[in-house]
Structure 1
């Protein structure tokens, strides 16, 4: 096995003709085996215009090597069509639309037909298939990519609302994939016995972007009226957060302000703790995050310890650290093993000890003591991670081309 220690907008412009789901005869196209691969087709359960995270970081960089087609899950509305929106001249988001009430089997048929029509329309024959969700195999298993990559960024089967067939579909994907990348070391350990070419690529960092927060930046308007000290969290607010812990902390320290950035997903917003010192500011653009981080005192990661967090490797850990923020976290395995020995990271598991850790973090924020942190972060950037992935993919492409 291999281990590399580098570690929603539903509205898209119609920039391509509507693709109608009509039966098509399968065409057999002869393509020279040695023709270069110029396209990468990604099947994702996440939307490109949602939280900017691993898929955006990696595929933006991949677009320097291949033309990227990012195919999302369908949006349900009034008609069947496929919309395209160019992010730039090298990366296009592709969104299927299906009518409300479409049966699951019909949805698979329509997506398969639309994908086939789209690939034919764009003259895409030699390509890399990149999967973020095994469920996409239901409508893409008939395709014959030159290389298949499964970038397993989360254990999706453990998430709330996961389809019962996900594990079975993942088993099929693991048999088809040439390469498996994992979003953390715990995921690597869970997958390494199930595939012969598994590589760990934990959460990386856009260091230059988040390091801006160490300088004086303009204070965001919705933050300016919140007094200090400010303890912040940025990310998706869902079943992975320990809301009971957050509620207890707010009760214990009414003089502290808890600021949360991010969308509320899969949970009822009415279940969120509501206190005068808890502030939900909503989802923010990726470019705006350093401005918020610059005006926080401590970053927190109050994750629940459950099946949904068993394999996570939070991207926010290195982002907070690059911003010069001490981090207080519950004992997420990949956080403990990677950052647990650092003086700037505090690991704790109860409201009382979380409070104590925040107090220590508020007293110990010294940017002059972060040399080792910065050395690590600079060696684990998204640029480095993508470069390593790309080398592995090119090497495997050479092998499958010769076969």
Structure 2
């Protein structure tokens, strides 16, 4: 039995992202693989300051559908990172208890959340670093930025393998890790093309749909407001589907804007329906060094359903600017192009060159085998 511990930036929930698709594929192909999926910790002090009340992490639970071989764990974060080494020590202690409870002895570590870098530094278990975002380019306070720099330095030097999800990330880190491996995102092509019924909560009339996490690091909120206002004048709606990580102020502004509907997250099984029934799929993203590091899942999901796309010139989309059905434009003409696209009511196209997650699972399993073979099983250090 191979025991893999993955430190994820997102929880294992109904909103699937890169980690879930890869882990799901590997578990279904390898009956000897067992995974402890470590979710982001529940931050007690942050929740107290936010007025939500102090709640512990949900602890260890078995995820159904994998014969008990997928175990999720949400730890509790009792101290802020500013507490220094003690904060990491407490997290490692809770992780050791979870491993004992799940009877897991890791053969390999998969790090997607760089805040676990100190564990890698202290552990003899071989590790893999999966880079999905260039957090060094994100707008963060100086202390947090310095911590990110230090964590990445550890991961780059100590991990047996480094994987980048985008060509931008790969190029920016190849000088540090010449052996970095590019494994982009993909989509479950068959599922996204299976005809689905129009969702009941999708606004009547014309729709421009965005699917993805709403976050100031990516989403151009001003552009969404402008687009919604213009769509409202023609009886159409800008529909936002996905988890909301925006500030309370920006959330309120979107809810108050005519022509904007914020639906919140939907289970991954329901997402194709929203995409298939959109008149236009939109990518109103900020264009900066951080978004240049991304390989958006929506690139593959949008193209799989074959609906028209309007995007700002962000990484992933701008490289395909000549593709049929794709309009790349700057923010000054974005809303105009969206309104035009909604009015056109274009027919669905078939896009042939859309990569499937099955191919990415093969590539990732190969890297994981290499990492696992670099060392023996290990315990989590104190």
TM-score range, shorter chain: 0.7 to 0.9
Distance in 2 between residues matched to 1:218 and 1:331, nearest whole Å: 31
CA distance in 2, matches of 1:74, 1:140: 17
Match of 1:153 in 2: 132
The ranges of structure 1 where at least 4 consecutive aligned residues each deviate by more than 6 angstroms after the TM superposition are 79-82
CA distance in 2: counterparts of 1:262 and 1:153, whole angstroms: 18
Name the structure 2 match of 1:329.
Answer: 311
* Residues 202-211 or 303-312, more deviating: 303-312
Out of 39, 47, 62, the position equivalent to 1:86 is 62
Which of 315, 336, 360 in structure 2 is aligned with 1:355?
336
Equivalences for residues 152-231 of structure 1 within 5 A: 152-161=131-140, 163-164=144-145, 165-212=147-194, 215=195, 217-223=196-202, 226-231=203-208
1:288 to partner: Cα distance: 1.1
1:234 matched residue in structure 2: 211
Is it true that 1:392 corresponds to 2:367 in the alignment? Answer: yes
Q: Cα deviations across residues 83-139 of structure 1 (Å, max 9, x unaligned)?
A: 111113111111112447894543212112222333345444451100002211234
Q: Judging changes above 3 Å, is the alpha-carbon distance between structure 1 residues 158 and 51 closer, same or farther for their aligned structure 2 residues?
A: farther
Q: CA deviation at 1:191?
A: 1.4
SS in 1 for 2:4: strand
Q: 1:299-338 to 2 correspondence within 5 Å?
A: 299-337=281-319
1:305 is displaced (CA, Å) by 1.1
Q: Could you say what the CA RMSD is over the residues aligned between the two structures, in angstroms?
A: 2.6
Change (3 A) 1:358 1:385: farther
Quickly say closer, same or farther: Cα 1:81–1:231, change in 2 above 3 A: closer
Contact kept? 1:153, 1:182, Cα under 8 Å: yes
Report the Cα offset of residue 43 of structure 1: 1.1
2:47 equivalent to 1:47: no
Q: Distance in 1 between matches of 2:293 and 2:80?
A: 35
Check conservation: 2:219, 2:286, Cα contact below 8 A: yes
Where does residue 252 of structure 2 map in the other structure? 270
Shift, 1:400, TM fit: 5.6
Whether the 8 Å contact between 1:238 and 1:266 is mirrored in structure 2 is yes
Match of 1:243 among 221, 225, 228: 221
Aligned length: 352
Answer yes or no: is 1:72 the counterpart of 2:72: no
Choose 1 or 2 for highest CA Rg.
1
Greater relative contact order (CA < 8 Å, ≥ 6 in sequence):
2
Q: SS at 1:107's partner residue?
A: helix
**What is the TM-score of this pair, normalised by structure 2?**
0.83
Return the offset for 1:343. 1.2
CA distance in 1, matches of 2:310, 2:344: 13
Unaligned runs of 5+ residues in structure 2 are 45-53, 377-382
Any stretches of 5+ residues in structure 1 without a counterpart?
Answer: 1-36
The answer on whether the counterparts of 1:178 and 1:197 sit within 8 Å (CA) in structure 2 is no
- The secondary structure found in structure 2 opposite 1:119 is helix
**Corresponding residue number in structure 1 for 2:274:** 292
Question: How far, CA to CA, are the matches of 2:241 and 2:338 in structure 1?
Answer: 21
Is the 1:62–1:68 contact (alpha carbons within 8 Å) kept by the matching residues of 2? Answer: no
TM-score, with length taken from structure 1:
0.79
Secondary structure of 1:279 counterpart: strand
1:183/1:200 contact within 8 Å kept: yes
C-alpha contact 1:152 1:182 (8 A) present in aligned 2 = yes
What displacement does 1:188 show?
Answer: 1.0
Paired residue secondary structure (1:197): coil
